[in-house]
Amino acid sequence: MELEASSFRDDPRQPCGQAFKKMQALFEKCDMNFRLLFISQIKLAYVKLAMKYMKRVSVELEFVGGVLEEEELIIQGVKFAFRVHQVFITAYAGTEGSAWEI
């Protein structure tokens, strides 16, 4: 995609309207690919962070002293995972593909 955009050559003999349509179509194609790549990278970062958070919760659960502390850690982990899930649903629902995909 980058190569196609950077190697585009405008043909001055081509009618202006056709040239603009070609350039606009190429831009739209590049823009969508960029957005999808960027969104995929953000999704991956969110998932990695959520995994680290949950791993820390599981480690801490081994050392807590009581039921209340254990319950609080579990609730914190579930809340964090839910927030990550909500970001996928609300922020990316308008993108192509499913908001449920990782």
Segment-wise mean pLDDT, segments of 10 residues, the chain, 102 residues: 77 89 88 84 87 90 88 91 83 53 48
pLDDT at 71: 92
pLDDT at 99: 47
- The answer to whether residue 97 sits within a structural domain is no
What is the reported pTM?
0.60
Alpha helix (H) residue ranges in 1-102: 2-6, 16-61, 67-92
Q: What is the span of the domain harbouring residue 43?
A: 2-92
- The answer to whether residue 102 sits within a structural domain is no
- The answer to whether residue 53 sits within a structural domain is yes
Cα–Cα distances in angstroms (integers) from residue 100 to residues 51, 52, 75, in the given order: 17, 20, 23
- The answer to whether residue 100 sits within a structural domain is no
